[in-house]
Amino acid sequence: MTAISFQGSSVQPIAVHAAFDSGNIEVRRIADTSAWLELRPDPGNAFKQWFHFAVIGAAGRELTLKITDLNTSAYPAGWPGYNACVTEDRLRWDRAPSSFDANEDGGTLTIRFQPRGDLAWFAYFAPYSLERHMDLVAGSAAAEGFGHRVLGWSLDGRPIDCLECGEGDRHVWLFARQHPGESMAEWWMEGALAKLADRSDPVARALRQKARFHIVPNCNPDGSFRGHLRTNAAGSNLNREWGTPSAEKSPEVLAIRDAMDETGVDFAMDVHGDEAIPHVFLAGFEGMAGLKPHQKPGFDLYSELLAAQTPDFQTRHGYPLTPAGRGNPAMATNQLAARFGCVSMTLEMPFKDHDDLPDPVQGWSAERSMQLGRSCLDALHLWFARR
């Protein structure tokens, strides 16, 4: 790379790359410590929102990074009020001051950050790598009372890992990252699994006595590794495949649903992240026809108990209620409620800061996602006690 003049001295311009697990960025041009960038969409569709890239050669200088053409992203409403995640040690992710201008270059997010050293990594949310996933699976499978099985295989040949524990007669299914860019969902899983594996935790012990847990930390390992926002290797949005999953387009969903058919489902939580809404909330199955009398009260009770467990959860903000008879059976929460007569739900966490308890340094974070996983199990313990 040729040296250029910068403030009177001969220095190298920065370099930007995303050639790693979950990386996603395209470089348009670089000048000194400024870069103009674009997102790479998922294959075969217009989904683009996730980014994860490294900046090399910053040398402690202030960076100006512009991600352009965001008016055509999957969720343009996700950019106003959003600050990008940044790390220099790849362990703790903070927030870099960012601003969005819908009128600049097709919609531009401008990230400004001055690293202490030469290297910095930026992402839409704290990434959860495939390597960390394998560590999570191995550590959980080795815990006392836990087992592991492979439900099936992804299109790229990766296992769909399922961790199991508990001796009860009720079947609880927890699954995450149908949408791979929603990495907070697997951080949530890490917190939930740590709690369930803690033999000294009385809530965990009681839960394992009451139920059999089936936990899929990552439903979409291919999309996660490839840096996709919402789809698998075939370009399928897995949370629109639950009605008629296929080995060709959605083997991940097919494997999970077949395993659910073997065990039955009494309680299910599908863990996600929402790009635009700066709150933690639940979405239900109220639009499905033929619901059983216990299902909606069971959902409402869990919401009430979770709100009492943690101020990070609320019930005022969320998705509009789906009118009766208009529920989409291709979505997991709806399909499971209709298929098994169970209480099922989608848990959503924010990509932005959390407006109920804002944190200007980290916003909504990996650490808070893990803590929410623990709180959700505390609420489930109380839910079992009331039903």
pTM score of the predicted model: 0.96
Look at residue 8 in the predicted model and tell me its pLDDT: 39
Residues in the chain: 387
Joined together, the tokens standing for residue 111 give 């990230």
Look at residue 45 in the predicted model and tell me its pLDDT: 77
CA torsion through residues 114, 120, 122, 128, sign = negative
| DSSP output for 336-377 | HHHHH--EEEEEEEESS--TTS--TTTSS-HHHHHHHHHHHH
At position 7, the amino acid (one-letter code) is Q
Residue 12 has φ and ψ, to the nearest 5°, of -90, 145
| DSSP output for 284-318 | --TT-TT--TTHHHHHHHHHHHHHHH-TT--SSSS
Given a contact cutoff of 8 angstroms between Cβ atoms, the answer to whether 360 and 95 are in contact is: yes
Look at residue 2 in the predicted model and tell me its pLDDT: 33
Given a contact cutoff of 8 angstroms between Cβ atoms, the answer to whether 361 and 95 are in contact is: yes
Q: What domains appear along the chain, each with residue ranges and CATH number? A: 15-123 (2.60.40.3120), 130-385 (3.40.630.10)
| Rounded-to-integer distance, Cα 267 and Cα 172, Å | 5
Mean pLDDT per segment of 10 residues, for the chain of length 387 residues?
38 94 98 98 92 96 98 98 98 98 98 97 98 98 98 98 98 98 99 98 98 98 98 97 98 98 98 98 97 97 98 98 96 98 98 95 98 98 96
Collapse the DSSP code of 7 into the 3-class scheme (helix H, G, I; strand E, B; otherwise coil) and give the result.
Answer: coil
The candidate with the shortest Cα–Cα distance to 287, out of 257, 327, 328, is: 327
Count Cβ atoms within 10 A of the Cβ of residue 213 and give its class: 0-12 exposed, 13-18 middle, 19 or more buried. Answer: buried
* DSSP one-letter code for 37: E
The backbone region for 302, taken as left when phi is positive above 0, alpha when psi lies in -120 to 50, beta otherwise, is alpha
Q: Which of 190, 241, 275, 348 is catalytic?
A: 348
The candidate with the shortest Cα–Cα distance to 122, out of 226, 277, 227, is: 227
Measured at the alpha carbon of residue 36, what is the angle toward residues 30 and 41, in degrees to the nearest 5?
125
Residue 348 known to be catalytic: yes
